[in-house]
Amino acid sequence: METLEGAELCFPQLLNTSCRKPLQHHAETIFLYILLSCISLLTVALNLLVIISISHFRQLHTPTNLILLSLAVSDFLVGLWLMPLHIPLFGGCWFLGSLICGLYYYTSYILVSASVGNMVLVSVDRYVAICDPLCYPTKVTQNRVKICVCLCWVCSVFYNGVIQIDFLKRPDRYNSCYGECVVVINFITGAVDVMLTFFGPIAVIIVLYMRVFVVAVSQARAMRSQIAAVTLQGSVSVTAMKSERKAARTLGVVMVLFIICFCPYFYPSLAGQDMSTSVAFSISGVWLLYCNSCINPVVYAFFYPWFRRSVKLIVTLQILQPDSCDANIL
């Protein structure tokens, strides 16, 4: 009987202080591990392709792509660091000690905040490009974008250090037994965090994208009316309508995916509950949030023709050739 009980402990040698492993079906656990590992590898691969593409090819060194590069870096680190460390938590045991536990949660908050900040920067960039195209080259320069990206990361590091300062001093303060890795954010801190990293960015992105959509529709209608007065009224009208629907669909996908991935993660704060690492929260909240890092390169880069061309050059190793950085991929 003692051997059976010992087998249920994370650390059998620590009978009085070790956490117990939750009852799980072996086949389901293996399937879950394989699935999550594949998502992690896919996230790393997709974002690495974006990073290499934008960094290597000089034609892609634009202010907009600098923001996409920053976003890809944060998403790449999510797949490389956060996802692999979070997979063993489904087994109910943490074997890496309190120091790595503290670093895991601290970096997870930093990367999530930086990713959200980069999304806001993308929306601001698109707003200026479409709503004020004549002043875009002077307002949005590479140096200004670099400063904004750096500020985004610095603010993420500082902000999350402040809200987790007590946890970082004692990473095991919320653990009820040895072999557990838990962080708890109280209601007040959680409410402030959800306003700054969820409602605030959502409001900014919605307002900017709605403005972009209204301006895009107005421009399409003005162009359609001007050209229709000359010739091909029917075909131009159809083309403009398709363009309007495509713009609406793209913006809708961006917003829906962002909200779907982030809502479950912030649900405990929205519901007035403490945020913890329960199994249900890990599956529905944390991993859905992490999957957004896999979706981002698809949404923001895969729809660009230059990305498909650069991926072809990378996969075929043509980027190793001399002067490949000057290749024409636009």
Determine contact, residues 176/167, Cβ cutoff 8 Å. no
- Classify domain 31-326 by CATH architecture: Up-down Bundle (1.20)
Q: Find how far residue 33's CA is from the centre of its chain.
A: 21
Q: Which residues contact 42 (CB under 8 A, 6 or more apart)?
A: 79, 294
Q: What is the pTM of this model?
A: 0.83
Angle formed at CA 83 by CA 156 and CA 200, multiple of 5 degrees: 35
For the chain, 330 residues long, give each residue's pLDDT as a single digit of tens.
Answer: 344 444 578 877 777 778 887 766 677 778 888 998 999 999 999 999 999 999 999 999 999 899 989 999 999 999 999 999 888 777 778 888 888 988 998 999 999 899 889 989 988 988 888 888 888 889 999 999 999 999 999 999 999 999 888 888 888 887 888 888 888 777 778 778 888 888 888 888 888 888 887 887 777 677 667 665 555 444 444 454 454 455 445 556 766 787 778 777 766 555 555 444 455 555 567 888 888 888 888 876 667 788 888 988 999 988 988 888 888 887
Neighbour tally for 49: CB within 10 Å: 20
Show me where the domains of the chain are located. 31-326
Q: Which tokens hold the place of 62?
A: 């634009």
Q: How far apart are CA 44 and CA 287, in angstroms?
A: 15
